[in-house]
Amino acid sequence: SVTVLRLGHRPGRDDRMTTHVGLTARALGADEVIFPANATDALETTRDVTERFGGPFEARPTDSPVGDVRGWDGPVVHLTMYGEPVQERVGTIQAESVGQDLLVVVGSEKVPFDVYEAADWNVGVTNQPHSEVAALAVFLDRYFDGRELDRTFENAERRVVPTALGKEVTEPTDSEPE
């Protein structure tokens, strides 16, 4: 499985970014997101979207994000602009996380050095400063080799029908073919 952990959250300022970490994790194939306990809006929005657009996907809070990284039972990748190129490390990460619970860590403000040390890999999506949401999206797409784009979500109250123009949304039933 793949869990995304958001390290740090400044209420108000980070609300949208933290929410987008959760929504991007869900949309791009992760199984779970963990938010700092003060990210209550992001937790609620991510759960609400999962309720409406389907899962399975879990969102849960933690009182100790850094403690969770240190104590994680499985491989840990930390996304950072200072890390090694994703394109050079992703093959190893795929091979070494088979059958295990992979933790993908993204930061908000300055990330404690403990996290760099606790991670099995510090990985950069380029070595340019940008965004945790962008880094997460590219990492997950590389990790899943694009297969996440074809994922279908279960128990959805709403499903978007792809259209060239306009907005089409259905309310699927369980008996409806995928």
CA distance 85 to 97: 18
Feature table: binding site for S-adenosyl-L-methionine: 79, 107-111
Please, where are the H alpha helices in 124-178? 132-143
Pairing of strands 159-161, 121-124: unpaired
Q: Is 132 in the site for ligand SAM (CB under 6 A)?
A: yes
Among 12, 71, 129, 162, binds ligand SAM (CB under 6 A): 129
| Binding piece for ligand SAM, criterion CB under 6 A, among 77-85, 141-149, 153-161, 167-175 | 77-85
Q: Is 130 in the site for ligand SAM (CB under 6 A)?
A: yes
Measured between alpha carbons, how far is residue 94 from residues 6, 58, 121, 153 in Å?
Answer: 21, 22, 12, 23
For 108, the 3-state DSSP assignment is coil
Q: Is 65 in the site for ligand SAM (CB under 6 A)?
A: no
Q: Is 118 in the site for ligand SAM (CB under 6 A)?
A: no
Q: What is the 3-state secondary structure (H, E, C) of 42-59?
A: HHHHHHHHHHHHCECCEE
Among 36, 65, 107, 172, binds ligand SAM (CB under 6 A): 107
| Strand partners for 124 | 85
Q: Is 113 in the site for ligand SAM (CB under 6 A)?
A: no
Among 19, 66, 108, 143, binds ligand SAM (CB under 6 A): 108
Binding mask 10-49 for ligand SAM (x = CB under 6 A): ----------------------------------------
Q: How remote is the C-alpha of 160 from its chain's centroid?
A: 21
**Binding region for ligand SAM (CB under 6 A):** 79-81, 106-108, 110-111, 124-126, 128-132, 135
